[in-house]
Amino acid sequence: MSRDELARVAREEALLGLRGGVGMAGPEIERYLSVFRDALNLNGATDRYSDPSVGYHWCGAFVYYCCLQAGFPVSAKPVPSYRYTLAAVPAWHHWATATNIFHPSPDAGQLGDIALYNHVYDNNPLDHIGIVVETSPDAVLSAEGNNNNQTCLFPRPHDCIAGFVRLPEDPEYWTTIDH
C-alpha cells in the first residue's frame, strides 16, 4: 500500500476510457459502482442499489475502487454517524478532516493524493474528486471517473482544489482506528 501505487492504479484505470451508459450505470463502469452498492443500500435502508441498471454520480466510487486496488483498507463509510458513504465527495472531506489526513492547501498536492474539487460541475463546493498522478506549478493531472460519464486523465488548476486527502502508508495506522 503506497500513494505511488495508488497513482499508478488510478492512471491505468483512467486511461481505459470506460464509459457509463444512461443514468450513469452500465457494464463498463460496474466495477466502480459495485464497491458501494451494499453500503448505499444499507445507508438508505433500501435495496434499490442492488440493481446494476441503477447508477449514481461515480467519481467517488472510482477513487474508492482505486484505493482498494492499491491496498488501502478504507471503509465505505468510515464515519458511521456521518450521513454519507465515500460515494459522496463531502464524506471524503469529513472523514479526512476528522482523522487529520486532509491538507487544505490547493498547491501542495503530491503524487497519489486524493484531490477534492470545488465548483467543477454544479457550482457547489466539494462536487468532484480525483487522484493526483502528476503535479506542476499551475495544476495537477488528475485520474478521474465520471468526468463526462467516463474515466480519463484531466488537468485541474489549483484554483478549483479544496485540498487533498493524503492516505497514510503506515499499515499500523489502518489497524489502530476505524476507517
Structural domains of the chain ordered from first start: 3-168 (3.90.1720)
177 pLDDT more than 70: no
Q: What angle do CA 161, 167, 172 make, to 5 degrees?
A: 165
Considering only residues 171 and 31, tell me which one the structure prediction assigns the higher pLDDT: 31
pLDDT digits (tens, 9 = 90+) for 124-168: 999 999 999 999 999 999 999 999 999 999 999 999 999 999 999
pTM across the whole model: 0.95
Give the cell for residue 23.
443514468
pLDDT digits (tens, 9 = 90+) for 19-60: 999 899 999 999 999 999 999 999 999 999 999 999 999 999
